[in-house]
Amino acid sequence: MMATDLQRSIDALWRIESPRVTAVLSRMLRDVGLAEDLAQDTLLTALERWPAEGMPDNPGAWLMTTAKRRGIDHLRRQKLLDRKHAQLGHELASEQEQRWADIESAMDDGIGDDLLRLMFVACHPVLSTEARVALTLRLLGGLSAAEIARACLQPESTIAQRIVRAKRTLARKQVAFEVPCAAELRGRLASILEVIYLIFNEGYTATAGDDWMRPDLCEEALRLGRVLAGLMPGEAEVHGLVALMEIHASRSRARVDGDGRPVLLLQQNRAQWDRLLIRRGFDALERALNFGPVGPYTLQAMIAACHARALTAQATDWKRIAQLYDALVRLTPSPVIELNRAVAVSMAFGVQAGLDLVDALAADATLKEYHLLPSVRGDFLSKLGRLDEAHDAFLQAAALTNNARECALLQQRATDCERATDRS
Amino acid sequence: MRMMVVVRATRDSEAGILPTRQLLAEMGRFNEDLVKAGILLAGEGLQSSANGARVRFSGGKRTVIDGPFAETRELIAGFWLWQVRSLDEAIEWVKRCPNPFDGESEIEIRQVFEAEDFGEALAPELREQVSRLRGES
């Protein structure tokens, strides 16, 4: 094998294997930072040995075995082995007594559990959201700091530092490497889901700058969601989040036109919606509803499914969507959800009904800087023929948005109102 | 990115010989690993070409040819759709696939076109389509 071929194979292999290797080492050493260091050592060993010795038949197993040996060597050197043996022996008290080798193979069976533990730790609430995102992409996505930096539009040094500090915080706060107990599980799981959805949205919509999509992050978030669904198959909201992401992702081809301009949902060419992803979304939604109770991600997925089911925009079941938004607002009230409900209500029960809801929101001082509010208000006003007010609302919205393309869209709508007024 | 991973046919698969229980179990585990890794999008096994047909295109003429087809090595026996980050990653996964048949066989990996790949060629058509749709709504 030529050197560059081997290098690429090893890189690809490492992307596949590193999360599990790191997870198992984290379990052995109870320290995520140390685990990553030893995992890197393992990779280096492979890079040194394989060019000469050739790639092993089962490279994944080689990496895991080598990593575990590193872990044991480290524990021995730290003279923690006896203490560890006792600790593990205590943990396995419910199972038969096992010698060290058996303990090791018990860890083998628990790789899924270790991966899950790693997810919980990487998304621990003691870390800031940005730190959780970076650490998750690093440890569970196997992305390099440079790749994370490019995807998140940050300098590489910022991301590298963020990851180092995150690991230090976890060590300092002595965050346990375990799946949270039942009492804490819901909240901790919500943290993982939040991180995954943040990663997805980072890829799906930029909040600043010109480009609307960074597909790699969407794919990685979807993949992490699916992995989590495999690790916690009984958790409705995990399936709900996966369903939501699959259906959103199904629209990626239709969301942007040939010039890179955004195409609104109701104007998208539905023939370009990816039916495979829609079907996967519906399957995941079915699992979510199976395991209940219905949570916010599942509700959002149900709303997305209503759109996905409609063959044309005209065929959309707006009354159903409005109902679902009612439920969602009760569960997780937020300005964007209230606005979306207003839009659904306007489609189901008439524009004035929608405007009434939006005017009630406009009274909220905390929403002064929220550009979507005047944007939606402008849309309703223009549909009611109140073009002067619509024009002002659109300009207000344009002034508040960070996104250049969205700004242009809103200014265009303001101009259209002017033209229509001039004609009448 | 997406890869289509194609298992090429062999005489056995064309003869309709079903896989052994052991192979089914190993393939099952492999598919499970793909699911656990979050990369399996779709996958199906294909019946022998004896149950299929071809339509030959020649200008405006269409000719139907019933299976089976002789050139076994040009036929496919099954496919997957995977979501991966690179061709190299797909290759590493394919290497872990159990031997699909006794003796030699080939698995081919092909990258799926994404919308961005069409670039300029797609833009004018799409632009026209989008403006038509905008006019309608």
If you ran DSSP here, which 8-state letter would residue B109 be given? E
Residue A264 CA neighbour count, 13 Å, CB half? 12
Residues of chain B contacting A112 with CB distance shorter than 8 Å: 36
- Asked if A313 lies within 8 A of B85 by C-beta distance, the reply is no
- Asked if A259 lies within 8 A of B129 by C-beta distance, the reply is no
Flag whether residue B126 sits within 8 Å of chain A, measured between CB atoms. yes
If you ran DSSP here, which 8-state letter would residue A312 be given? S
Is B41 within 8 Å of B2 (Cβ atoms)?
Answer: yes
The residue to which tokens 């495979």 are assigned? A276
Residues of chain A contacting B92 with CB distance shorter than 8 Å: 9, 12-13, 16
| Rounded-to-integer distance, Cα A368 and Cα A366, Å | 6
- Per-residue pLDDT of A305-354, as tens digits, reads 999 999 999 999 999 999 999 999 999 998 889 999 999 999 999 999 99
| Rounded-to-integer distance, Cα A384 and Cα A374, Å | 15
- Per-residue pLDDT of A148-175, as tens digits, reads 888 888 899 999 999 999 999 999 999 9
- Per-residue pLDDT of A167-197, as tens digits, reads 999 999 999 999 999 899 999 999 999 999 9
The residue among B35, B85, B91 with the most chain A CBs within 10 A of its CB, best to mutate, is B85
Low-confidence ranges of chain B (pLDDT < 70): 115-137
Residues of chain B contacting A216 with CB distance shorter than 8 Å: 85
Is A380 within 8 Å of A351 (Cβ atoms)?
Answer: yes
Please give the sequence-ordered ranges of beta strands (E in DSSP) within B29-130, or none if there are none: 40-45, 53-58, 61-66, 76-83, 107-111
The rounded Cα A304 to chain-centroid distance in angstroms is 17
Write the ipTM.
0.83
| Rounded-to-integer distance, Cα A420 and Cα B135, Å | 16
**Helices A129-139 and A111-122, axial angle in degrees (round to 10):** 150
Flag whether residue B50 sits within 8 Å of chain A, measured between CB atoms. no
- Asked if B88 lies within 8 A of A9 by C-beta distance, the reply is yes
Low-confidence ranges of chain A (pLDDT < 70): 1-2, 80-85, 89-110, 205-214, 260, 424
pLDDT score recorded for residue A77: 84
Residues of chain A contacting B1 with CB distance shorter than 8 Å: 219
Q: Considering only alpha carbons, which residue of chain A is nearest residue B134?
A: A267
- Asked if A263 lies within 8 A of B122 by C-beta distance, the reply is no
Tokens of B124: 């004018």
| Rounded-to-integer distance, Cα A125 and Cα A106, Å | 29
In what helix (H) or strand (E) does residue A245 lie, and over which residues does it extend?
helix A236-250
Counting Cβ atoms within 10 Å, is residue B81 exposed (0-12), middle (13-18) or buried (19+)? middle
Q: Which domains does chain B carry? A: 2-136 (3.30.70.1060)
| Rounded-to-integer distance, Cα A13 and Cα A390, Å | 56
Counting Cβ atoms within 10 Å, is residue A283 exposed (0-12), middle (13-18) or buried (19+)? middle
Looking at the partner chain, which of A224, A258, A268 has a beta carbon nearest the beta carbon of B124?
A: A258
Cα A230 to Cα A192, A197, A223, B94: the distances in Å are 14, 17, 11, 21
Please give the sequence-ordered ranges of beta strands (E in DSSP) within A270-424, or none if there are none: none
